[in-house]
Structure 1
C-alpha cells in the first residue's frame, strides 16, 4: 500500500515552491484581464491565487526552517540539499512581492498595507534567520543573498503601492495646501482707520481670471488618434483623480472639461473615459504608480541584474552529489523569476503610462499591432441584463432548489443562470452620449446642472410634453420608479413584438423605429440588474429596493400560478431551464436541440405572462385596493404600460421611454459613491461607471461646488 504521508513529507517543499511559482504566473498574465472580463471563471482563480501566495510562503518557509534544525553529522549531499533549501526560501520573498499587474485584489486591500509591512518584517526575518543559521557552512550564500535582496525590493514595492493607493493617503497626496484666504484682520484695521479719518472708503471684490478660460486647453474638433486618446485621458486623470476620494472642483476645471468633451464625437468621448478609468484602475489595483517612476525603473534593473548574477553563480556552483530534482527546481525558479521580470518590463514598456511619458518628451510613437496597441479593449464592453418577469416565470430545477437552500449560493446561482449580457453597441453609446451632451448644453450654471442630475426621468417627461406621466416619477422613491418603469417597458416590449412569418419580418407600420425599442429594453434590464445584483451601487438612491423587488416577485409568481402560467409547485421539469445544470446552454452558450426547445417554451411562457398582466383591469391604483402592506409594483407597472400605449401619435413612445431610462441611469451613476464605482473597475467595469465619469466631464457631477473664481478684496478710498 502506498504511504502517501511519507511521499508528501519527502516532496512537500518542492511541490509548494513550484506551486508558488505557478501562482505568480497566473497572477501576472491573468490579473490584467480583470478590467476586461466580468466572470466568476476568472475572478475565482485569481482570488484563490492572490490568497494562496501567502499560505505557500508561510508553509514552505516554516518547513525549510524545520528541516535545517539539528547539526548532526551530514553527508556532503545532505549539506548541498540544505544549501538549496535556503536558496529556495529567498524566492518565497520574491513571490510575496507579487507581480506588477496586481497589488490589491479588492479596494479594501490597500488599507491593509500595515499588515503586509508586518509580513515583510516577519517573513523577511524568518528567511534571514534560516540563512544566518547555516551561513557558516552554506556554499550558496551569495546567490541566496542576491535573491533575498531582490525579494525585499519587490515586497517593499508592493507595500509602497498599497500605501499610496489607500484612500486616506491618496486623498492627502492630492489635496492642496490650506488656503487661509485674504488677511481679513489687516484689511479691516486699515478700513477702520480710514473711516476714523472721515475718508470715503469702500471695499470691492476684484475677481482674478488666470487667462482665457476657453483657451486653457486647446479643443480639437476631429477624430483623435490612439496616442492622443491616451494623452488626453492622462491629462484629465491628473486633473480629476480627486473624484476617487470625493474632492470638489472649481468652475475653471468644469469649464475646461466641459468644453473639451462637447467638441468630441461619441466614440472618442467614451474612448477617453475608458482609458482614464484604466489609469484609475492601475493606481488602485496594480504597482504601476511605483513601477512607472525613476526609482521604479532603477529597482527593476537592480532586481533583474541580481537574478542574472544569482543564475550565473548557481550554474557555476559545484552541484555534484545534489539530486536532479533539486537542480531542476532551482533552475525553474531562476528562469521563472527572469521570465516574469522580463514580462513585467514588456508590459510596463507598452503601457499607457510609458506612452504618456514618451509623448511628453517629444517622441513620435508608432501605431503598434495587437496585442501591444494601447487602445485594446479597456473594459468588458457588455451590459448585464436581469429581467423580473423572466425570473418569475421560469422555475428552478430540483438541483437549483437544493443549491438555493445554502446561504450565499442563491445570489451566485442567480448571476450564473439568470443574468445575461448584451454587447455595448455603437448605437447605444451614441444615444447615451447625445442625451448627456444635450443636457450639458443647458447646464451653463451649477444650479441648472444640479437640477439635471437630480432628475429621475421627470426632466425628460416635461421636455417631451408628457407631464401626465410625472406622477410615476415625482410621487415615488427611485427604487419604485425603477421597478414600475421596468415592468411597463417589458409589457410594452412584449406587446410590440415583431411577428416573424417565414423569413420575412413584419411589424406594424405604426411602430416606432426598432432601435429605441431595443435600447429601452437593454437599459431597463440593466437598471434592474443594478438594483438586484449590485445593491451597493444603488444604495444611495434605492431605499427599500430589495424589499420592493421581493414583494413584486412574490405577487408576480402568485398571479402566474393563478393563471396556470406556472405550476403550483414551480417545478414543471418539462419546461425548466437547467434541468441538467452543468450542460445547459445558460452556462456554456451552445444550446443543443433539447435546450432549443426549452428556450422556445420559455419564450412562449414569457409572452403568456405579459399578456396576462396586460389583461388585468388596472383602472384603480393598487394601493387603494391592497393598502401599503405589500410594496409590490407589479400592477403599477401595468397602469403605466397602459398610459404609454395610449400616447398620442405625435409622441414617439419608445424614444420617450429610452430617454427616461438614460436619465435614470444618469441619476444612479452620479449618486453612487465613488469608491463603489472604483470597486467595479477590477470586475470588468460597469456602464454606470462610464456614465458617471462622462457626466462629471460634462459638468453635470455633484463634485462641482465652487461657483466663483479667485478674488481679492481691495480698499477703495475716495478723494
Structure 2
C-alpha cells in the first residue's frame, strides 16, 4: 500500500490508541474518522489562504502562530486522510466506498496548498526535493484509490477533472519551492557565460600584421553604458510601480548574494536620487513586497501566462465537477452526510479558487500588467482597482511599524528570582520572555524619520565620487556625524573605540537620560520632532539588539544587555529605599545624579560588561554641549538623531540579505528597508565591478 511514512506511522499508532476506548466509541470513530479529517483538511486550506498573505504586513504574533499550526497540520491531515481512504477500499466497492473515493483528488488539491503561502520560512524552500517525492507518492496513493474504486459509474469519471486540478496544484507548489531555493534562485539570476573577446583571433591578427611590418599598436577602450530610462506608460500614477519593478529585477541579485556592477549603481541612483523621501521609501516597499511574494508564495508561477492558464484549468475543473455532480448524481444512492461532505468539498474548492483570483487582481503584479497595456479598458480597470484599494483589501506591503524596547523601563520592574535548579531555570526563562513581551511595543514609522534617513543617505551619496568613498561611508557608525559637528575627539570613545552593540547600549542610555532631562525642563508640547525621532530610533535599535540580535554583527550584545540590566536593577532597588522611583523619568533623573568623576571602566575593570554608567558619562557630555558657543538644545538633538541614523545604516548594510529575507515573513523591518534604500543609492559591499567592458582595438 502506497502511504507516506508519516501517514503509515499514524495509522499504526491509531490502532494502538483506539484499543484504549470502549467498543462503542471505536465504532463511532471509525464511521466519522474519514469525514472529520477531510472536512478538517478543507478548513485548514481556508485558514492558510486567509492568513497566508497577512503576515507580510502584520507583526501580530497570533497570526504567525495560527499560520504556523495550519501550515504544519495541513499536509499531515491530507496525507492521513489519503491513507485512511486507501485502507478502506475493498475489492468490490459499494456506494459509500465509491463516494468517499471521490474525495481523494480533493486531498491532492489541498496538498497543493493555496497561492498565498508555499513556504513558512526560507528553509522550506530548500526542502523542495522532499515535496517532489511527496508529490510522486501522494499522486500514486490517489491513483491507487482511483483504480481500486473503478467502476463505470458516472461518479468515477467526475473525479477525473479534480485529479487534474490536484496534480496541477501540487506540481505548482513543488516547482515554486524549487524556484525559490537558494541554489535555483541564484542560478536563475546568473547571466549567460561570457568568454569575452576572442584572444586567439586577436593574437593571430596581431602576429600577422607584425609579420607584414604593419603598425601593431593597440588601445583598450572602456565602454560607457548609457543610463537606463524607465519607459513611460499611459497611466502617470503607475510611474513609481514601473520604476520599482525595474529596480526589483536588477536588485534581486542582492538577495542571491551576487555582485553588482557600476552600471546597476548608476541606473539605481538615476531613479532614486531625485525622488522625495516618501517616494523613495514607497519604491523600496513595493520591491520588498514583490520579494516576499517570490520567496513565500506562488507568485513566480501564478503571475505568468502559463500560471493564468493553469488557474483557469483548475477553476473550470472544479466548476464542471460541481455542475455535473448536481445534475447527474442521484443523491438517494448515498448517505446524506457523505453527499453533504462532497458538496462542501466542491463548493469549497470553487470558493477558494475565486478568492485566490480576487487576491491576484489586488496585487502589484496585476496592477503592473494593467499599467503596461495600451488601451482604455486596462486603464479603467487600473483606476478602479487603485481607487477602491483601501475599501477592498489592505494595500500595505509591510507592517509600516518598528519595534520599541526601552532598557530602563524593563529594569524598573522587580528583580527576577534567583536561579536554582533546572526547573527553576526553565521557569525563570519563561518569566523573562513574558516580561520582555510586556515591554515590547510598536510605533509607526513616521514621515519625519523617513525624511531624516533619506536626507542623510542622499547627502552622502552626493559627496561620493568613487567606489572607495561608498565603502568608506558604509563603515561609518556615528563618527562622520561627530566629525562634521567638530566633536569627534570628545565622543570618539562611544562610537569607533567600542563594538557596535556596546555603542548601541551607550547611546541608548544617554538618549533616554537627555530626553527625560529635557522633559523635566520643558512641557510635553515643546518637545520637537527631533527629540521624539531620536528617542524612537534609540528604542528601535535596542529592540534590534534584544529581539533581533542576528541582524547585527557578531558580538556579545546580549551579555552586555544582561549585565547592564543587572546593574540598573541593583541601583534602582537601592535608591527606592530612600527615594521613590515610580516611573522612567524619575529613574533617569536619579541616574544623572550619580557622580562619574572616575571612569566606570577604571572601577569595574573587565569583569562586568555593563554600559549603564558609561551611558551616564555620555549623557552628561551631551548635555554640556548646550553651554558651548553655537550650540543649543536643538542642535544637540539634531546631532543625536544623525548619530542614530548612521548607526542604523551601519547595522543595515552589515546584515546578511538572507536574514533580511527571513524578516519579510514577520511584517518586515525598518532595517531591511534602509538596507535596500542604501543599495539603491550606491551603498553596498556587493558593488564590485567598477568599470565597463573593455574592448581592445588596433590603432
Tell me the distance in 2 between the aligned counterparts of 1:535 and 1:58: 38
Select the residue among 260, 272, 275 that pairs with 2:283. 272
Against the structure 1 CA distance between its residues 84 and 204, is the aligned structure 2 distance closer, same or farther, given a 3 Å change threshold?
same
**Residue 512 of structure 2 corresponds to which residue in structure 1?**
490
Question: In the alignment, is the contact (CA less than 8 A) between 1:226 and 1:374 conserved in 2?
Answer: no
Question: In the alignment, is the contact (CA less than 8 A) between 2:225 and 2:692 conserved in 1?
Answer: no
Tell me the distance in 2 between the aligned counterparts of 1:272 and 1:505: 35
Tell me the distance in 2 between the aligned counterparts of 1:644 and 1:147: 70
The worse-fitting range, judged by mean Cα deviation, of 115-124 and 370-379 is 370-379
**Residue 483 of structure 2 corresponds to which residue in structure 1?**
462
Against the structure 1 CA distance between its residues 374 and 12, is the aligned structure 2 distance closer, same or farther, given a 3 Å change threshold?
closer
Tell me the distance in 2 between the aligned counterparts of 1:122 and 1:39: 36
Q: Does 1:526 align with 2:509?
A: no
**Residue 626 of structure 1 corresponds to which residue in structure 2?**
604
Q: Secondary structure at the match of 2:443?
A: strand
Tell me the distance in 2 between the aligned counterparts of 1:456 and 1:170: 33
The worse-fitting range, judged by mean Cα deviation, of 130-139 and 84-93 is 130-139
**Residue 605 of structure 1 corresponds to which residue in structure 2?**
583
Q: Secondary structure at the match of 2:53?
A: helix
CA displacement 1:105-164 (0-9 Å, x = unmatched): 111111111111111111111111111112137652112222112101100001111111
The structural deviation recorded for 1:210 is 3.3
Against the structure 1 CA distance between its residues 621 and 566, is the aligned structure 2 distance closer, same or farther, given a 3 Å change threshold?
same
The structural deviation recorded for 1:298 is 1.2
**Residue 377 of structure 1 corresponds to which residue in structure 2?**
396
Tell me the distance in 2 between the aligned counterparts of 1:408 and 1:230: 46
Select the residue among 148, 165, 171 that pairs with 2:163. 148
**Residue 89 of structure 2 corresponds to which residue in structure 1?**
68
**Residue 704 of structure 1 corresponds to which residue in structure 2?**
687
Tell me the distance in 1 between the aligned counterparts of 2:578 and 2:447: 38
CA displacement 1:582-605 (0-9 Å, x = unmatched): xxxxxxxxxxxxxxxxxxx98x33
Tell me the distance in 2 between the aligned counterparts of 1:404 and 1:37: 32
Question: In the alignment, is the contact (CA less than 8 A) between 1:498 and 1:505 conserved in 2?
Answer: no
**Residue 499 of structure 2 corresponds to which residue in structure 1?**
477
Question: In the alignment, is the contact (CA less than 8 A) between 2:265 and 2:687 conserved in 1?
Answer: yes
Tell me the distance in 1 between the aligned counterparts of 2:146 and 2:88: 13
The structural deviation recorded for 1:520 is 0.7
**Residue 247 of structure 1 corresponds to which residue in structure 2?**
258
Tell me the distance in 1 between the aligned counterparts of 2:615 and 2:310: 61
Q: Does 1:346 align with 2:358?
A: yes
Question: In the alignment, is the contact (CA less than 8 A) between 1:248 and 1:704 conserved in 2?
Answer: yes
Tell me the distance in 1 between the aligned counterparts of 2:357 and 2:657: 31
The structural deviation recorded for 1:609 is 2.3
Against the structure 1 CA distance between its residues 506 and 32, is the aligned structure 2 distance closer, same or farther, given a 3 Å change threshold?
closer
The structural deviation recorded for 1:341 is 0.6
Select the residue among 54, 69, 74 that pairs with 2:75. 54
Select the residue among 110, 113, 117 that pairs with 1:102. 117
Tell me the distance in 1 between the aligned counterparts of 2:577 and 2:694: 69
Question: In the alignment, is the contact (CA less than 8 A) between 1:34 and 1:43 conserved in 2?
Answer: yes
Tell me the distance in 1 between the aligned counterparts of 2:309 and 2:65: 34
The normalised TM-score by structure 2 is 0.89
Tell me the distance in 2 between the aligned counterparts of 1:525 and 1:192: 69
The worse-fitting range, judged by mean Cα deviation, of 177-186 and 698-707 is 177-186
**Residue 127 of structure 1 corresponds to which residue in structure 2?**
142
The structural deviation recorded for 1:178 is 2.1
Tell me the distance in 2 between the aligned counterparts of 1:397 and 1:472: 30
The structural deviation recorded for 1:546 is 1.6
The structural deviation recorded for 1:645 is 0.6
The structural deviation recorded for 1:413 is 2.3
The normalised TM-score by structure 1 is 0.86
Tell me the distance in 1 between the aligned counterparts of 2:186 and 2:429: 34
Question: In the alignment, is the contact (CA less than 8 A) between 1:94 and 1:150 conserved in 2?
Answer: yes
Question: In the alignment, is the contact (CA less than 8 A) between 2:362 and 2:389 conserved in 1?
Answer: no
Against the structure 1 CA distance between its residues 680 and 415, is the aligned structure 2 distance closer, same or farther, given a 3 Å change threshold?
farther
Question: In the alignment, is the contact (CA less than 8 A) between 2:221 and 2:695 conserved in 1?
Answer: yes
CA displacement 1:300-336 (0-9 Å, x = unmatched): 1111111122112221212214221111111111001
The structural deviation recorded for 1:196 is 7.2
CA displacement 1:543-576 (0-9 Å, x = unmatched): 1112221222222222222323799xxxxxxxxx
Question: In the alignment, is the contact (CA less than 8 A) between 2:230 and 2:243 conserved in 1?
Answer: no
Tell me the distance in 1 between the aligned counterparts of 2:237 and 2:36: 45
CA displacement 1:344-401 (0-9 Å, x = unmatched): 1122123211222222232423143134779822111111001111111123799x99
Q: Secondary structure at the match of 1:650?
A: coil
The structural deviation recorded for 1:225 is 5.9
Against the structure 1 CA distance between its residues 415 and 168, is the aligned structure 2 distance closer, same or farther, given a 3 Å change threshold?
farther
Select the residue among 542, 551, 566 that pairs with 2:563. 551
Q: Does 1:537 align with 2:551?
A: yes
Against the structure 1 CA distance between its residues 458 and 605, is the aligned structure 2 distance closer, same or farther, given a 3 Å change threshold?
same
The structural deviation recorded for 1:425 is 1.4
Tell me the distance in 1 between the aligned counterparts of 2:492 and 2:294: 43
The structural deviation recorded for 1:471 is 2.1
**Residue 297 of structure 2 corresponds to which residue in structure 1?**
286
The structural deviation recorded for 1:5 is 4.2
**Residue 510 of structure 1 corresponds to which residue in structure 2?**
none
Against the structure 1 CA distance between its residues 563 and 6, is the aligned structure 2 distance closer, same or farther, given a 3 Å change threshold?
farther
CA displacement 1:597-621 (0-9 Å, x = unmatched): xxxx98x332332223212222222
Q: Secondary structure at the match of 1:342?
A: helix
Against the structure 1 CA distance between its residues 334 and 451, is the aligned structure 2 distance closer, same or farther, given a 3 Å change threshold?
same
CA displacement 1:228-280 (0-9 Å, x = unmatched): 22222111111211111111221121112112212111111111111111110
**Residue 246 of structure 2 corresponds to which residue in structure 1?**
235
Q: Does 1:617 align with 2:595?
A: yes
**Residue 11 of structure 2 corresponds to which residue in structure 1?**
none
Tell me the distance in 2 between the aligned counterparts of 1:455 and 1:410: 38
**Residue 429 of structure 1 corresponds to which residue in structure 2?**
450
Tell me the distance in 2 between the aligned counterparts of 1:565 and 1:43: 44
The structural deviation recorded for 1:182 is 3.0
**Residue 389 of structure 1 corresponds to which residue in structure 2?**
408
Question: In the alignment, is the contact (CA less than 8 A) between 2:415 and 2:569 conserved in 1?
Answer: no
Tell me the distance in 1 between the aligned counterparts of 2:43 and 2:110: 10
**Residue 177 of structure 2 corresponds to which residue in structure 1?**
162
Q: Secondary structure at the match of 1:496?
A: helix
Question: In the alignment, is the contact (CA less than 8 A) between 2:230 and 2:246 conserved in 1?
Answer: no
Q: Does 1:299 align with 2:310?
A: yes
Tell me the distance in 2 between the aligned counterparts of 1:565 and 1:30: 50
Tell me the distance in 2 between the aligned counterparts of 1:640 and 1:535: 24
The structural deviation recorded for 1:56 is 0.8
Q: Flag structure 2 segments of 5+ consecutive residues without an equivalent.
A: 1-21
> What does residue range 289-368 of structure 1 map to in structure 2 within 5 Å?
289-315=300-326, 316-362=328-374, 363-364=378-379, 365-366=382-383, 367-368=386-387
**Residue 630 of structure 2 corresponds to which residue in structure 1?**
650
Q: Flag structure 1 segments of 5+ consecutive residues without an equivalent.
A: 508-512, 568-600
- Number of aligned residues: 659
Q: Secondary structure at the match of 2:658?
A: helix
Against the structure 1 CA distance between its residues 186 and 84, is the aligned structure 2 distance closer, same or farther, given a 3 Å change threshold?
same
